[in-house]
A and B are shown apart, each in its own frame.
Chain A
């Protein structure tokens, strides 16, 4: 029995604009396009400003001209060889951290989940500090020292990340368990780093401290290359995982009911995030709070039910480049960029906790 009624005006089913061409179809939210595009424009501007600052100031116009290959005199050398690597590394680090943070937070359904709170950046610190402090000492120390700080940091982060994954894994990864085990690993890493530092020579300890705060000083293209390669591989994979991530958010049972191979998808998401963080930290040290703060800012700008991956990446890049610019120009003394992101990030974390959002409670 069907009742004939005049067709009511078609209500809007979902926010966003429908795009269809042949077999391809999708839904586009304008804010999820505008935010990354606008963020990228501001990022280019901040990068140009940053590359212009220094003992030999160059105007933004000249910087942009040089970047498209129209530079004159000493400018191409100064910009492309001396200053660009620092900015590019900063942007790539921010991008990787932003995307990794969005992956972790969506996956754990908890805005507190980030590579900082999960101990992964701390693992990188252990690796780096060990390489700095122990080189020249024992034979294992010499091996670590021989690896160089970036590789030791990468190794430390990966080992911690895989450990986190292995300890959390129980036929799947539970977000709550992930955060708790992450905090435990973070404490263990902190203790290990402190122990290494108290036993270190004073000069080693000083350089280790600079690394631990996260700095973009004296970065070269050699630092940018491995990170750039990692981002080029991992970012498309992360974006491709976005569709499944939207279903994983519903919890294991519902996701499985909708035909997602939950265990495999979870493993892929966590490992993607771990690798992104490991390469980022290896290039610039643990620039803290970026992965925590940026996805939450991004989701407030774009709307929707989960941190957008691309927008988080672009805003992460913008935050690191801008913070680096501020530490070098506005502040009287050039500070490592990690200190500024922590100064911004810590109050934000408090605000997040005090505001008492349901899912911010541990």
Chain B
């Protein structure tokens, strides 16, 4: 039912002759820390305007993959392409104008105000002479207002609650003004209502600001609810990829998460919802 509405919308907005452009792609990437290979020969394409969630059990390499997509980790073989160009050979500053990222637990220096934090998002657009232009100021003011953080601009980041802090970081990513946004478990350490708050914000970035979003998430139900596409990983390999309703099945949960579970429709959104039964050995 919901899937039908989704495809109908898709057909209305994009002509079949004009498939969405691939913005970010991994080609045969092998990712390793020292000698330990975490991801091997993985391919993934992320199209313009998509909202993708990468899911998988702990240690499956999903964060590692995200790091590689955000050029924080260089593949030992294969490559990551940003708009068709090898990201490793693109000046990091140029990348920073197109692709923004939010690490899992970012640290703000003690005493830094929210306004200063969000202003740091303008770094790739600034230079030694041009440190705080009218453009910068307007963009930062807008980013703060859009994330509902304007009133907290003068507050030190370390005095904020967990949810507010995550909003501040998302505000900074917004101020960076990039088309693509990669987020590594943005809901870690947040209670459920703040998880929803943060993901609503990300969903608005996608819907209202046209951002292409890739997010690593632990919570399958939230991933299915917010993302248009789920990418499931296990042991460093891509197991399934597609709309949540197609990916999130009892078979996949058994195979990927060693979990016996029922999958039913989320009573609120109709997206698949996982009800765990027991762990399979």
Look across to chain A and name the residue whose beta carbon is closest to the beta carbon of B104: A253
Known: A13-B119, A256-B92, A258-B96. A250 touches B107 (CB 8 A): yes
- The prevalent SS among residues of B at the interface is mixed
Say whether B109 contacts A109, CB under 8 Å: yes
Say whether B110 contacts A257, CB under 8 Å: no
The answer to the question of A333 belonging to the interface, with a C-beta cut-off of 8 Å to chain B, is: no
Look across to chain A and name the residue whose beta carbon is closest to the beta carbon of B118: A13
Say whether B70 contacts A24, CB under 8 Å: no
Q: Which of B78-86, B137-145, B221-229 contacts A (4 or more CB under 8 A)?
A: B137-145
Say whether B153 contacts A13, CB under 8 Å: yes
Known: A13-B119, A14-B113, A305-B112. A259 touches B103 (CB 8 A): no
Known: A13-B153, A20-B134. A260 touches B112 (CB 8 A): no
Q: Which of B39-47, B123-131, B188-196 contacts A (4 or more CB under 8 A)?
A: B123-131
* Beta-carbon contacts under 8 Å, A1-58 to B: 8, 10-15, 18, 20, 23-27
Say whether A257 contacts B137, CB under 8 Å: no
Say whether A250 contacts B109, CB under 8 Å: yes
Chain A residues positioned under 8 Å from B92 (CB to CB): 256, 259-261
Chain A residues positioned under 8 Å from B108 (CB to CB): 250, 305
Known: A13-B144, A13-B153. A250 touches B120 (CB 8 A): yes
- The prevalent SS among residues of A at the interface is loop
Chain B residues positioned under 8 Å from A240 (CB to CB): 128
Chain B residues positioned under 8 Å from A243 (CB to CB): 126, 128, 131
Chain B residues positioned under 8 Å from A20 (CB to CB): 132-134
The answer to the question of B249 belonging to the interface, with a C-beta cut-off of 8 Å to chain A, is: no
Q: When A and B form their complex, what is the total count of cross-chain residue pairs whose Cβ atoms lie within 8 Å?
A: 117
Chain B residues positioned under 8 Å from A27 (CB to CB): 131-132
Contact partner of A14 among B97, B110, B116, B150, CB < 8 A?
Answer: B116
Look across to chain B and name the residue whose beta carbon is closest to the beta carbon of A242: B128
> How many residues in A have their beta carbons less than 8 Å from beta carbons of B?
38
The answer to the question of B101 belonging to the interface, with a C-beta cut-off of 8 Å to chain A, is: yes
Contact partner of B72 among A18, A253, A359, CB < 8 A?
Answer: A253
Show 16 A/B contacts (Cβ-Cβ < 8 Å), sorted by A: A11-B144, A11-B153, A13-B119, A13-B153, A14-B116, A15-B113, A25-B134, A27-B131, A27-B132, A243-B131, A246-B120, A257-B102, A259-B124, A304-B111, A305-B109, A358-B110
The 9 closest A-B pairs by CB, nearest first: A259-B96, A259-B124, A259-B93, A305-B112, A253-B103, A305-B109, A26-B131, A14-B115, A257-B101
Q: Which residues of B contact A (CB under 8 A)?
A: 67, 70-72, 92-97, 100-103, 106-113, 115-116, 118-121, 123-124, 126, 128-134, 136-137, 140-141, 144, 150-151, 153-154, 176
Q: Which residues of A contact B (CB under 8 A)?
A: 8, 10-15, 18, 20, 23-27, 109, 240, 243, 246-247, 249-254, 256-261, 303-306, 357-359
